[in-house]
């Protein structure tokens, strides 16, 4: 973790802002307040952000191929976050995934990490931990 990099973000000085193409981060969460708030924070971080309420919607979206990182909820009606992770592996899509969940469940965490998750965050998480996770997940 580059401390000066994180510090720079904290003061809104995004080094990526100058680059014409911002990396796309997709958010999949059934909770509306997350879909509302998280993209704004991601944009503040300097990413392009888009939110989906259902895993299926993300899978059928043409933004999938452009997504550089996926911020994914676990417990959702229909396809769960873990199901989506498996489906992406099956499709050989190597999008880094940061899981976010409100339920403390170490078994899920272990499974997610074993299946190649980049990071696993419990809600509520701080902006710094998310930013660190994104920095680790997205290849520079």
Partner 1 sequence: MIVVGSDRADFPGQTESLLLSVAANQASIGLREAGLLRQQKRIADELDRRVAERTAELASTNRELASEIIERKLAEEALRTSEIKLRQVIDTIPTLAWCNLPDGPNEFLSKPWHDYTGLSPEESHGWGWQVAFHPEDLPPLMKRWRELLVSGEGDEMEARLRRRDGVYRWFLIRVQPLRNNEGEIIRWYGTSTDIEDRRVAEERLARNEAFLAEGQHLSRTGSFSWCVNSGSITWSEEMYRIFEFEEGTNVTLEEIGSRMHPEDLRIFNEMIERARAGVGDFEYEHRLLMPDGTVKHLHLIAHVRGDNPGEYIGAVQDVTQRRLSEQALSKARSELANVARVTSLGVLTASIAHEVNQPLSGIITNASTCLRMLSADPPNVDGACETARRTIRDGNRASDVISRLRTLYSKKEPTLESIDLNDAAREVTAMSSTEIQRAGVSLRQDFAESLPLASADRVQIQQVILNLIRNATEAMSTVDDRARELIITTELQGQQVLLSVKDSGVGLAPEAADKIFEAFHSTKNDGMGIGLSVSRSIIEAHRGRLWATKNDGPGVTFSFTIPRRSEGAIDVENLTNVDDRKADAA
Which residues of the shown chain bind partner 1 in the complex (CB under 8 A)? 10-12, 31, 33-34, 36-38, 40-41, 44, 75, 100, 102-104, 122-127
Q: Smallest gap, in angstroms, from Cβ of residue 89 to partner 1?
A: 27
| Listed residue (7, 4, 133, 128) closest to 69, CA to CA | 133
For partner 1, the closer of residues 30 and 87 by Cβ is 30
Q: Smallest gap, in angstroms, from Cβ of residue 60 to partner 1?
A: 25
For partner 1, the closer of residues 94 and 107 by Cβ is 107
For partner 1, the closer of residues 63 and 123 by Cβ is 123
Q: What is the C-alpha to C-alpha distance for residues 106 and 127, in angstroms, rounded to an integer?
A: 22
For partner 1, the closer of residues 46 and 96 by Cβ is 46
Which helix (H) or strand (E) is 128 found in, with range? helix 127-137
Q: Smallest gap, in angstroms, from Cβ of residue 35 to partner 1?
A: 9
Burial 36-45 (b: 16+ CB within 10 A, else e): eebbeebeeb
- Per-residue CA distances from 109 to 9, 53, 118 (Å): 28, 21, 11
């Amino acid at each position: 973790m580059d401390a000066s990099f994180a510090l720079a973000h904290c003061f809104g000085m995004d080094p990526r802002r100058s680059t014409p193409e911002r990396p796309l981060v997709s958010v999949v969460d059934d909770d509306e307040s997350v879909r509302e708030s998280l993209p704004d924070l991601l944009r503040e971080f300097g990413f392009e952000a888009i939110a989906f309420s259902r895993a299926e919607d993300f899978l059928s979206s043409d933004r999938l191929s452009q997504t550089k990182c996926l911020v994914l909820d676990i417990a959702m009606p229909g396809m769960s976050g873990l199901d989506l992770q498996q489906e992406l592996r099956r499709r050989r899509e190597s999008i880094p995934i940061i899981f976010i969940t409100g339920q403390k469940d170490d078994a899920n965490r272990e499974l997610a990490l074993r299946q190649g998750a980049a990071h696993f965050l419990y809600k509520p998480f701080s902006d710094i931990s998310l930013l660190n996770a994104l920095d680790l997940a997205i290849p520079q």
